Structure 1
């Protein structure tokens, strides 16, 4: 019971952080975005106005998707869109990881040694040479 309380508590904290706190994350670009902007001049809104950098070659992804740009496509409320995308990401990650752990646990349980099975050849009295 204590294990499940810990897991549910951790999941609730992760959902809260992803759903609410993620909206207050820094608006500044992360490390990858910053490195792609090196060599370019930016205006106050972060738009490229000149220079030469790899970010100028950026294009929209051809496939798209429901969770593009850290939000849910089709929702006009940015706070809600970002929060729901975070919650959905946490729940999907939890489901995939939980399923993987469950499969590994089930598989390992099948490899338990059976009672009365063959002994190791290194044990005394089991090899042909020890029988006198």
Structure 2
């Protein structure tokens, strides 16, 4: 029997972790959460994740810095940056996408339908081997 895809959520707001976890578990994803970047990095080194949702502003690590570390330690993990500070057209986001650090980006407040859709696309892209391309940002 096939294991459900694993998703990691790294956000310093416990309520955001809970909401995302609840929304994704309904669709049979196995979800782990961390409220600090270093905690998320520890999980990445000990477990395999298909997708990681990473907050751009964490108390101990910058979200893009964490994305780079995740991609270095776990190249198969699709990283989706979430933020209430940045928007899709910001240079920081476009550079992260172009460098292959990010699979996609979602602006807070999050719409759960978009969260589920990008998680599904990331899992499917990882299974198909075409994980990072220019079509992964939500429209």
Higher helix share: 1
The two structures have a TM-score, normalised by structure 2, of 0.28
Normalized per residue, the structure richer in strand is 2
Q: Which has the larger radius of gyration?
A: 1
TM-score by length of 1: 0.29
